[in-house]
């Protein structure tokens, strides 16, 4: 009995060891535009032994998939920086990173430090930054020149002409607009619940003012470009894309500060191609690849001088949107403690189910 | 020996089917039920309880959404039947052989594109700056652009469009099996058009009607993309609730409970429908 | 016009054209009260179309249909008091026997008590008093047949149309149902119009039969007339079994026609049909097997049939033994097969295959038609 188990065990080890030796596959789970064809091609040319298989996803699905398999099935994932700590605590789906294998010198030190601070558990670092961007407002400046803050989406002046996505971003933005600091309240969940309740009242009252809740970049773009709405809560990348087609539509960082997220690299706990993953990370941090990446994703890569490496059109859009003061005013999403997603989910349900009049 | 081989081959023949049933249908459901009976008390610590079900009962938002989903699905089913029946009757009894194939193909076309594309099709048509609104302004019926999207009516239209084929196919196959002389006999014995429809055609097509209604109701209640994309600010749908529990809130336990509740609820509605129409599953779905 | 009321059903120069096809071409018929009338013809002859016009499912292209003396051209099918038994009966499978019969009564707004009474009555008359609560699939073929008739008869129709209703039954049941149908018709004393391609059904049951071919009536008459005095070659060939020759006229003398067949046989025939064939005109000749006598030699006289003026020598090809209806197939010099009825007693003087025999028959039974 013992012998056979051992045999089976060693056989399995041999099998596992031999398969990657022939043709290694890097199974990458990332956001829609974070692994464009041209970059994959260059990477595979440089490392002929590695084949890149990409699965496009989003924060929630990445975590759900890794949770379902206990961290297997993928070799590299790119959740946002605030989605590492709690997910690791609850579901144990990542493995610590070996920073010596990563060209951390190329990274913007403040972003690296921020991500490390957010994702260190028991002295081990679980993620490094890749790209960052913001959520804020998108405004047609010819039609709503004085729309400046999150709360202005609920201004009756724009009744039926504004939109937002009914997700946590708008909860947080609205909380800031009401003078609260929700991230500080993460430490005291009953305080956070109070804030959420106030936000819910505000957003339920606001419901009547909205044309619709948008569900994805496509329907948001369609509503904005057709002129059906004049302003919306948005991802900056979507706003930049529209700016390319209509220069009147600009990204406006809300007066209380745009909410900033950093998409990271993290290693799933049962990933099998760590070396290839490190190679990919270092590969995409090279300046010429950074520009190609930003062209595809519309986000700023977290390397030193990342803003300067943006392609020309995106640089123009970012410069039209951000002043240095705006950048100083960014509010980085704080780590989500366990339980907060559930509280926020309930609040969102309440808002969705409520009738505003 | 011979017998053993026979038995073995029989077992081997049934193996894929049995595996399919057990691995892909039975096991996941058992897993769902077990998952739904767990309550998280601390990170990575769970205990068995009915918490998730109690939560459902105590939160009106949840059961209101379930009832809303159920009633809209019923409405969609009725509309699909009202629209599908004449179409199916035309295809089965009136159209010629070639027209008939063409019509069937026409009904199939919506299935060639994905749910998402179909929903975007409706979005293009119904939006404020869309084709319908534009046409109505052009003809002068509307003075200013009008939004047809983002309300329950849009959801219902989109759903009926998506599921109507599943109503038409079983209806065509039952009506097709009906001898024309049955209808003529209905007239010959003194019935008018309405009597013949009510007393002969509909009772004869009942297995197809019930089968179509069951399929359509289940499909509608379980649909996700169409109600999400076409629905408005207030149109919540129960599958969205399940998705949110599973994905956005990481609350698999309650998501599993909701999934199970949806299954139980739709099964209950189907059972009631079968009771009321005096049909059985074997005489309807199994037949067509 | 008052005389019309004597007839339950009249068709007056009725035609039905489908495009260039004349499915029914200028057909007239009159069916007296309470009679059993059959329309007999090969499939595709237009008989079903004619019946569907009577029932109202098809509109006539020209002509008039009268029921009890009144034109029904503008009456929809559900208002005509003509009921129909369909080929496959068309009983409603989702209703039981009672409901099937009650359907028509309910359409006519007959009240519950009266409905019950009439259904009980009609079920008794078809001798199935206890089947009211049975489902249709629980009935035997013959029972279904009778229920289909009862479903119509309970409405007291002026005319009952039957569209080959026995076609689906097996042979034995079909034989039994023929007699039963005739009895039912007597019992209800209603006019039955029976459509069939099976001559024996038509001959056994009917008071009068119309022979239909290519949209026209060839001949209307009693079964015996049609059998013994056919007016056209089609009728002669279609009704009953016959041997058939084609040939040319050699000489004529009144009703007597002397011909030579294409196989070289010289026959003395009797002229049937209205047109007399001229000299060397081509003709068709029919002789029924029962009138041909097989013998060891040419015989001129037979007690019953009179002078047997026609003779033919041949070899027995085969015997078709069927009790009293046994036949012999005889091959003549030109290779043609002739059928003749024989009596096979099982004795030593019976005909055997391979033997050479003479066939003898009379002039009166040699039917000659100009063609």
Instruction: Closest CB to C87: pick one of B181, B188, B206.
Output: B181
Q: B188 vs C78: CB contact, 8 Å cut-off?
A: yes
Q: C55 vs B206: CB contact, 8 Å cut-off?
A: no
CATH number at residue C24: 3.40.50.300
Domain tally, chain C: 2
A167 interfacial to chain B (CB closer than 8 Å)? yes
Same domain for C219 and C285, yes or no, is no
Confidence of residue C216 (pLDDT cuts 50, 70, 90): very high
Q: Is the pLDDT reported for residue C284 higher than 60?
A: yes
What pLDDT score was predicted for residue C303? 56
pLDDT, tens only, C295-311: 888 777 665 556 778 88
Chains C and A touch, contact meaning at least 3 pairs of CB atoms under 8 angstroms apart: no
Chains B and A touch, contact meaning at least 3 pairs of CB atoms under 8 angstroms apart: yes
A342 interfacial to chain B (CB closer than 8 Å)? yes
Same domain for B13 and B124, yes or no, is no
Same domain for B153 and B121, yes or no, is yes
Same domain for C162 and C276, yes or no, is no
Q: Would C135 be classed as within a structural domain?
A: yes
Domain tally, chain B: 2
Q: Measure the CA–CA gap between A133 and A116, rounded to whole angstroms.
A: 18
Same domain for B18 and B73, yes or no, is no
H helix or E strand, kind and range, residue A139: strand A128-140
Q: Measure the CA–CA gap between C349 and C358, rounded to whole angstroms.
A: 15
Same domain for B6 and B113, yes or no, is no
Same domain for C263 and C169, yes or no, is no
Same domain for C212 and C131, yes or no, is yes
Same domain for B29 and B57, yes or no, is no
The number of angstroms, rounded, from the C-alpha of A307 to the middle of its chain's C-alpha atoms is 18
Q: A345 vs B248: CB contact, 8 Å cut-off?
A: yes
Same domain for B14 and B82, yes or no, is no
Same domain for C315 and C175, yes or no, is no
Q: Would B43 be classed as within a structural domain?
A: no
Q: C78 vs B179: CB contact, 8 Å cut-off?
A: no
pLDDT, tens only, C87-126: 889 999 999 999 999 999 999 999 999 999 999 999 998 8
Same domain for B137 and B253, yes or no, is yes
Q: Would B70 be classed as within a structural domain?
A: yes
Chains C and B touch, contact meaning at least 3 pairs of CB atoms under 8 angstroms apart: yes
Same domain for C49 and C191, yes or no, is yes
Q: Would C235 be classed as within a structural domain?
A: no
**Segments in chain B below pLDDT 50:** none
Same domain for B112 and B4, yes or no, is no
Same domain for B21 and B164, yes or no, is no
Q: C84 vs B185: CB contact, 8 Å cut-off?
A: yes
Same domain for C156 and C213, yes or no, is yes
Q: Would C156 be classed as within a structural domain?
A: yes
Q: C107 vs B190: CB contact, 8 Å cut-off?
A: yes
Q: Would B106 be classed as within a structural domain?
A: yes
Q: Would B110 be classed as within a structural domain?
A: yes
Same domain for B12 and B131, yes or no, is no
Q: Would C365 be classed as within a structural domain?
A: yes
Same domain for C289 and C202, yes or no, is no
Instruction: Closest CB to B247: pick one of A64, A344, A353.
Output: A64
Same domain for B27 and B163, yes or no, is no
Instruction: Let me know the angle formed at the C-alpha of A313 by A307 and A315, rounded to the nearest 5 degrees.
Output: 20
Q: B149 vs A338: CB contact, 8 Å cut-off?
A: no
Q: Would C72 be classed as within a structural domain?
A: yes
By residue range, what is the domain housing residue B1?
A: 1-36
Q: Would B180 be classed as within a structural domain?
A: yes
Q: Would C236 be classed as within a structural domain?
A: no
Q: Would B88 be classed as within a structural domain?
A: yes
Same domain for C12 and C50, yes or no, is yes
Choose, out of B28, B233, B241, B255, the residue to mutate when testing the contact with A (most A CBs < 10 Å).
B233
What pLDDT score was predicted for residue C243? 92
Same domain for C100 and C125, yes or no, is yes
Q: A219 vs B64: CB contact, 8 Å cut-off?
A: no
A18 interfacial to chain B (CB closer than 8 Å)? no
Q: Would B100 be classed as within a structural domain?
A: yes
Chains contacting B (3 or more CB pairs within 8 Å): A, C
pLDDT in tens, chain A (357 residues): 344 444 444 444 444 444 444 578 999 999 988 999 999 999 999 999 999 999 998 888 899 999 989 999 999 999 999 889 988 988 899 999 999 999 999 999 989 998 998 899 999 999 999 999 999 999 999 999 999 999 999 999 999 999 999 999 999 999 999 999 999 999 999 999 999 999 999 999 999 999 999 988 888 999 999 999 999 999 998 999 898 889 899 999 999 999 999 999 999 999 999 999 999 999 999 999 999 999 988 889 999 988 889 998 888 888 888 888 888 888 999 888 888 888 998 999 899 888 754
* Smallest CA–CA distance from B117 into chain A, residue: A218
* Residue B216 distance to chain C (closest CA, Å): 24
Listed in sequence order, the DSSP H helices in chain A are 2-22, 37-46, 59-69, 85-91, 109-119, 168-177, 182-185, 189-206, 217-225, 236-245, 274-284, 287-297, 312-321, 324-328, 340-353
By residue range, what is the domain housing residue C301?
A: 241-370
Q: B150 vs A63: CB contact, 8 Å cut-off?
A: no
Q: Measure the CA–CA gap between A104 and A127, rounded to whole angstroms.
A: 12
Same domain for B142 and B261, yes or no, is yes
A341 interfacial to chain B (CB closer than 8 Å)? yes
pTM for this model (two decimals): 0.82
CATH number at residue C334: 2.40.50.100
For residues C248-260, average pLDDT: 87
pLDDT, tens only, C338-365: 999 888 887 777 888 888 999 989 888 8
Q: B236 vs A353: CB contact, 8 Å cut-off?
A: yes
CATH number at residue B206: 1.10.3720.10
What pLDDT score was predicted for residue A19? 46
* Residue B7 distance to chain C (closest CA, Å): 37
Domains in chain A, please, with CATH? 10-131+261-305 (3.40.190.10), 133-260+332-353 (3.40.190.10)
Contact list in A for residue B245 (CB cut-off 8 A) is 345
């Amino acid at each position: 009995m013992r012998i056979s188990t051992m045999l089976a065990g060693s056989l399995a080890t041999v099998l596992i060891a031999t398969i990657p030796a022939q043709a290694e596959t890097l199974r990458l789970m990332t956001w829609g535009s974070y692994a464009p064809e041209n970059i994959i091609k260059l990477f595979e040319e440089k490392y002929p032994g590695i084949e890149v298989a990409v699965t496009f996803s989003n924060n929630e699905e990445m975590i759900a998939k890794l949770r379902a398999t206990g961290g297997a099935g993928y070799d590299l994932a790119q959740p946002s920086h605030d989605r590492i700590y709690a997910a690791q605590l609850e579901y144990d789906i990542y493995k610590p990173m070996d920073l010596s294998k990563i060209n951390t010198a190329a990274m913007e030190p403040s972003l690296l430090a921020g991500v490390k601070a957010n994702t260190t558990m028991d002295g081990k670092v679980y993620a490094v930054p890749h790209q960052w961007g913001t959520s804020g407002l998108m405004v047609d400046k010819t039609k709503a020149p004085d729309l400046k803050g999150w709360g202005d989406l609920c201004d009756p002046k724009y009744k039926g002409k504004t939109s937002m996505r009914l997700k946590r971003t708008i909860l947080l933005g609205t909380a800031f607009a009401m003078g609260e600091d929700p991230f500080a309240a993460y430490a005291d969940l009953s305080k956070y619940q109070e804030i959420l309740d106030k936000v819910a009242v505000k957003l339920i009252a606001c419901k009547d003012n909205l044309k619709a809740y948008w569900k994805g970049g496509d329907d948001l773009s369609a509503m904005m470009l057709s002129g059906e709405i004049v302003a919306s809560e948005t991802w900056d990348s979507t706003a930049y894309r529209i700016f390319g087609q209509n220069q009147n539509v600009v990204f406006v960082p809300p007066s209380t500060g745009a909410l900033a997220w950093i998409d990271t690299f993290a290693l799933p706990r049962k990933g099998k191609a760590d070396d290839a993953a490190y190679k990919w990370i270092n590969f995409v941090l090279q300046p010429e690849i950074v520009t190609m990446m930003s062209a595809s994703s519309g986000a700023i890569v977290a390397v030193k001088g990342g803003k300067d490496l943006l392609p020309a059109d995106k640089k123009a859009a970012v410069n039209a949107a951000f002043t240095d003061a705006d950048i100083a005013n960014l509010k980085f999403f704080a780590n989500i403690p366990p339980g907060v997603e559930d509280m926020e989910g309930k609040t969102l349900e309440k808002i969705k189910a409520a009738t505003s009049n | 020996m011979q017998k053993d081989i026979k038995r073995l081959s029989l077992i081997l023949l049934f193996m894929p089917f049995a595996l399919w049933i057990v691995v892909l249908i039975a096991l996941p459901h058992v897993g769902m039920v077990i998952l739904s009976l767990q309550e998280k008390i601390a990170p990575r610590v769970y205990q068995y309880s009915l918490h998730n079900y109690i939560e459902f009962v105590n939160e009106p938002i949840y059961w209101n959404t379930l009832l809303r989903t159920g009633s809209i699905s019923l409405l969609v089913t009725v509309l699909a039947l009202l629209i599908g029946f004449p179409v199916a009757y035309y295809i089965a009894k009136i159209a010629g052989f070639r027209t008939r194939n063409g019509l069937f193909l026409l009904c199939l076309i919506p299935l060639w594109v994905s749910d998402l594309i179909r929903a975007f099709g409706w979005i293009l048509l119904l939006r404020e700056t869309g084709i319908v609104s534009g046409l109505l302004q052009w003809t002068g019926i509307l003075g200013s652009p009008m939004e047809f999207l983002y309300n329950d009516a849009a959801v219902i239209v989109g759903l009926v469009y998506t599921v109507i084929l599943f109503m038409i196919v079983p209806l065509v196959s039952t009506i097709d099996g009906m001898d024309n002389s049955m209808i003529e006999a209905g007239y010959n014995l003194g019935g008018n058009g309405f009597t013949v429809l009510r007393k002969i055609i509909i009772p004869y097509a009942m297995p197809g009607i019930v089968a179509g209604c069951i399929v359509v109701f289940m499909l509608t209640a379980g649909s996700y993309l169409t109600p999400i994309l076409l629905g408005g600010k207030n149109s919540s749908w129960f599958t969205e609730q399940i998705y949110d529990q599973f994905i956005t809130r990481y609350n698999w336990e309650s998501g599993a409970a909701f999934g199970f509740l949806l299954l139980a609820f739709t099964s209950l509605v189907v059972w009631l429908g079968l009771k009321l129409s005096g049909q059985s599953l074997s005489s309807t779905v199994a037949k067509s | 016009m008052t005389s019309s009321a004597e007839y339950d059903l009249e068709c007056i120069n009725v035609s039905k054209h489908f495009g260039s096809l004349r499915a029914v071409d200028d057909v007239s018929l009159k069916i007296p009260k309470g009679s059993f009338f059959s329309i007999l013809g090969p499939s595709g002859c237009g008989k079903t179309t004619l019946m569907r016009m009577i029932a109202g499912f098809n509109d006539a292209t020209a002509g008039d249909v009268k029921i009890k003396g009144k034109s029904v051209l503008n009456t929809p099918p559900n208002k005509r008091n003509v009921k129909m038994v369909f080929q496959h009966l068309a009983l409603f499978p989702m209703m039981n026997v009672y409901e099937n019969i009650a359907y028509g009564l309910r359409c006519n707004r007959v009240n519950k008590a009266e409905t019950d009474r009439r259904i009980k009555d009609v079920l008794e008359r078809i001798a199935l008093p206890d089947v009211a609560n049975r489902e249709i699939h629980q009935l035997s073929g013959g029972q279904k047949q009778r229920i289909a008739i009862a479903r119509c008869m309970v409405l007291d129709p002026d005319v009952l149309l039957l569209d080959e209703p026995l076609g689906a039954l097996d042979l034995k049941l079909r034989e039994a149902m023929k007699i039963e149908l005739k009895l039912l018709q007597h019992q209800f004393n209603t006019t039955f119009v029976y459509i069939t391609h099976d001559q024996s059904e038509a001959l056994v049951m009917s008071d009068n039969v119309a022979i239909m071919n290519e949209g026209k009536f060839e001949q209307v008459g009693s079964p015996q007339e049609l059998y013994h005095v056919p007016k056209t070659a089609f009728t002669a060939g279609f009704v009953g079994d016959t041997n058939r020759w084609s040939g040319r006229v050699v000489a004529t003398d009144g009703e007597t026609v002397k011909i030579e067949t294409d196989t070289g046989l010289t026959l003395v025939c009797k002229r049937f049909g209205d047109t007399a064939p001229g000299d060397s005109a081509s003709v068709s000749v029919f002789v029924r097997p029962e009138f041909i006598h097989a013998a060891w030699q040419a015989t001129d006289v037979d007690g019953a049939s009179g002078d047997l003026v026609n003779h033919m020598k041949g070899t027995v090809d085969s015997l078709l033994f069927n009790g009293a209806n046994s036949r012999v197939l005889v091959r003549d010099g030109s290779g043609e097969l002739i059928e003749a009825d024989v009596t096979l007693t099982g004795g030593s003087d019976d005909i055997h295959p391979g033997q050479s025999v003479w066939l003898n028959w009379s002039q009166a039974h040699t039917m000659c038609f100009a063609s």
